[in-house]
Structure 1
Amino acid sequence: MKRSTPEAETGSTMFLALQVLTITIVAVAMALALAHALELPGKLRLAREQYFAIQPSTIPASPSEARPNRSACCSAPFSCS
């Protein structure tokens, strides 16, 4: 009969913890993707005007309403507010 050593038990415990962590991370990612997929029928029911009315921050109506370009902050991160 094979005896288990403390090192073997620790290794199997670590492997089980890694499996649980991996499954949890994948489940969260899949839940977020599923939430976006479940929103689609509601978005498809909206008329074009209604859709753009409820999405002003993600789809600007004109270039003047667009968010400012922050690419200059990469070169001087402490100068941007």
Structure 2
Amino acid sequence: MNSPQKRGEGGHFGAQTDAQGNFSIVGPPNATISNVKAHVWMNDSNYESTSFNLSFPGSGKTGSIGTITVYPAAN
């Protein structure tokens, strides 16, 4: 007998970038969301990142996850 696959909840964060390409998102303090992918629509093309973990700092604090690199998305 096969066990059902465990799946996480799907969700979306939306953001606009500033002139330097930086953006901010807000999430639950001290939480980590795993298997996140960035998707970007730019110049009439879709781009996506590889999977990464998104970790939020404690309440009232900020942090940086660094650079997210996106690649042309597979069709």
Task: Give TM-score scaled by structure 1 length.
Answer: 0.20
Higher helix proportion (structure 1 or 2): 1
> 1 or 2 for the larger relative contact order (CA 8 Å, sep ≥6)?
2
Q: From the CA coordinates, give the structure whose radius of gyration is larger.
A: 1
Q: Which has the higher strand share?
A: 2
